[in-house]
Amino acid sequence: DTEVTQTPKHLVMGMTNKKSLKCEQHMGHRAMYWYKQKAKKPPELMFVYSYEKLSINESVPSRFSPECPNSSLLNLHLHALQPEDSALYLCASSHLGFNTEAFFGQGTRLTVV
C-alpha cells in the first residue's frame, strides 16, 4: 500500500468557520508533511512531523494548527482563514533521511469565501 489518503478533496469555508483537513498513511512512514500550493506555483512546505512530534514550522500563521494524533494520521486545523489562504493543501509522508521519496495525497482544494 503506497497510498496517502486526504479528506476532504474539496472544501469551501467562510472566514469565521473552523474546519479540519485529514491525512492518513499506512506505509510505516515516521515523517509526515503539509504543503501549500497556489495555482501555477510549486508546493511550499508548511509543517514537518517526525515521530509524531512537530519538527519544522515554516513560520506558518497560527490560524493553521497541525496535529499528529498517531504515526498514521495527520490533521490540519483551520480557523479564521483569509481568502488568500485558498490553495491546494498537500499531505505527504516518507521514511526519514535524504534519499527517500515522499508519497503525496491527492490534496484538498480549499476555497475561503
Provide the binding-site residues for other proteins, judged by CB under 8 A.
31, 33, 41-43, 45, 48, 50, 55-56, 88, 90, 92, 96-107, 109
Please identify, using beta-carbon distances, which residue of 46 and 78 lies nearer to other proteins: 46
Q: Least distance in Å: CB of 67 to other proteins?
A: 17
Q: Least distance in Å: CB of 79 to other proteins?
A: 24
CB 10 within 8 A of CB 108: yes
Kindly report the length of the chain: 113
Q: Least distance in Å: CB of 80 to other proteins?
A: 25
Pairing of strands 4-7, 10-13: unpaired
Please identify, using beta-carbon distances, which residue of 48 and 76 lies nearer to other proteins: 48
Q: Is 49 exposed, middle or buried (0-12, 13-18, 19+ CB in 10 A)?
A: buried
Please identify, using beta-carbon distances, which residue of 79 and 86 lies nearer to other proteins: 86
Please identify, using beta-carbon distances, which residue of 79 and 103 lies nearer to other proteins: 103
CB 58 within 8 A of CB 6: no
CB 49 within 8 A of CB 66: yes
